[in-house]
Every structure is written in C-alpha cells, then in structure tokens.
Structure 1
Amino acid sequence: MAAAMSANWAFLAARRGQRQWGLSCSLSSSRPNRRKLVLYSKPGCCLCDGLKEKLQAAFSLSGPDSLNDVILQVRDITTNPEWERAYQYGIPVLAKENSDGKEEILPRLSPRLSVEIIQKKLVAAFS
C-alpha cells in the first residue's frame, strides 16, 4: 500500500510559485483541465534527482511560458514490475499525458540544459 501511494504522489506547481504536494488522484479530479507530466525514476538515481530539481525550477518561472497549470507526477519504477521492465535502462523518462489519457514519451532532456530552455521545451511539448 505504501509503495502504491508513493508512486501516486504528485508535484503541483502553484500559481504563486510555491510547491504543494498531494495525491495525484485528488489533484486531477479537482482540476480536470490541468496538464500532466509523469517522471519515471527510482531512488538513488542521480540523473533523476537532477531532472526533478530542474523541473521544479522550471515550474517556478513566471511569464508567458509559465508552467503553473502542470502537475508533475513522479513514479518510482521499483514499485511496478511493468514500469521497471520498460524503463530500467532509460530513466529518467518524462512523459506527458494526452487528452485521451494515454502517455506520450518526450525526448530526453539533457542535464546541461538551462532551466529556461527546459521550460520552453515543455511548453512546446504541450502545444
């Protein structure tokens, strides 16, 4: 049960740039028009941790390319054998959820990219 719950924690970029954590199911149901990103990762993955930090920084940026309506759900692949088989050699893997609920894997973001470039790439992915 705890593993399933940890796989469902989601990151919400609030409009004021503050971070709030909550279960993705409650966030998704209360705000159906929000965009959703899924980050497949696992504990101890330095690339995953680095991408999470860059994503958090990108969500905090304001302006016309703001990502304040995006929910980032982090999924620990070690909690689900299907995710582990699919992504064990490719993490971190970032996917966006399409309007039909299906996930679309996004191109890998280089850890060398600036936060501003990551923000622009994510905005473009949702366009």
Structure 2
Amino acid sequence: MAASMAATQTLTVASLTRRRPPHLLLSSTLRWPFRRPFSATSTRADPTPPPPQPAPSLVLYTKPGCCLCDGLKEKLGVAFSLGGPDSLHGVHLQMRDITENPEWERRYQYEIPVLSRLLPDGSEEILPRLSPRLGAELIQKKLAAALRQ
C-alpha cells in the first residue's frame, strides 16, 4: 500500500511539474513589444522620411456680378481664417473667372459658384455644393472633411 501511495504521489508531482498554472502559461506565450529584439528593418530605424505631400488646393469657379459667388467668397475668407482641428491654413484657394475661358463658361455657366479639389494627378473633383446659408464654421468642417478623403 505504501508503494501505491508513493506512486500516486509521484504521479501527482510529475503532473504538477508538467502543467503550468494558467498565469504562467499566459505570460510565457505573450510577446510584448519591449521584449522583441530590435530589428534593423524596423520602421522606427528608417532614416528616409516620407516624401512631403503637396499642399491641398481648391478651385472656385465664379464670374463677376454673381451674388452667390460673392457670398461664398466672403464665407470662404472667414472659414480660411478660423483655427482649430479643421484649420484650412495650409490649403491653397484659387479663384477662376469663367468668363476668361470659353470651356469653363460652357461647363459652369449655370452652376456657379463651383468649388473643386485639385487632385495630385492634375485633374479636378467637384465638391458638393455648399449652401449659402451655412456658417463659416460648418463650411470649414465640410471642406476639411472633403480634403481628408
């Protein structure tokens, strides 16, 4: 009987040494970022900075004597002067008079004011029309959101 009891105790000790408590299993299988070896290919060690992004540009198509165009120009001036998280200080705004170019006049004669975003490839994307009743803060937020896309 003593032999069977010793064998039972030995099995119990052996089973305990083979199994690890759950908290030890977790800590031995998790790899924390500070425990990983430093790699020369790490993004932090990359000496070349990313290429600079061109400043975003907007184009406003207008014509002289257009009261909607004048109202939007005024609100855009205020929106560009506002600060905050949606600041438009780095954005370049270009005004184009549609009467100076027959193609612009044909395309936008009944749609002005038209606001578009210049894309990196040189093409333009027309932005949704801004209501003349919008405040400068809301115009700023809408333009910032459109430029982030």
Residue by residue, what CA displacement relative to the aligned partner does 1:67-121 show, whole Å, maximum 9, x if unpaired? Answer: 0011110000000000000000000000001121110000100000011100000
Counterpart selection for 2:77 from 50, 53, 56: 56
- Determine which structure has the larger helix proportion and give its number: 2
Residue by residue, what CA displacement relative to the aligned partner does 1:16-60 show, whole Å, maximum 9, x if unpaired? Answer: xxxxxxxxxxxxxxx972110000000000100000000010000
| Greater Cα radius of gyration, structure 1 or 2 | 2
Do structure 1's residue 65 and structure 2's residue 65 form an aligned pair? no
Structure 1's unaligned 5+ residue stretches are: 1-30
SS of structure 2 residue aligned to 1:66? coil
Partner of 2:59: 38
Partner of 1:17: none
TM-score (normalised: structure 2): 0.63
SS of structure 2 residue aligned to 1:38? strand
Runs of 4+ in 1 over 4 A off after TM superposition: none
Q: Which has the higher contact order (CA 8 A, sep 6+)?
A: 1
Do structure 1's residue 107 and structure 2's residue 128 form an aligned pair? yes
TM-score (normalised: structure 1): 0.74
> 1-side partners of 2:115 and 2:138: how far apart?
15
Residue-pair matches, total? 97
Structure 2's unaligned 5+ residue stretches are: 1-51
> 2-side partners of 1:94 and 1:120: how far apart?
15
TM-superposed deviation, 1:63: 1.0
> 2-side partners of 1:120 and 1:98: how far apart?
19
Counterpart selection for 1:82 from 103, 118, 128: 103
Identical aligned residues as a percent: 70
RMSD over equivalenced CA pairs, Å:
1.3
- Determine which structure has the larger strand proportion and give its number: 1
SS of structure 2 residue aligned to 1:82? helix
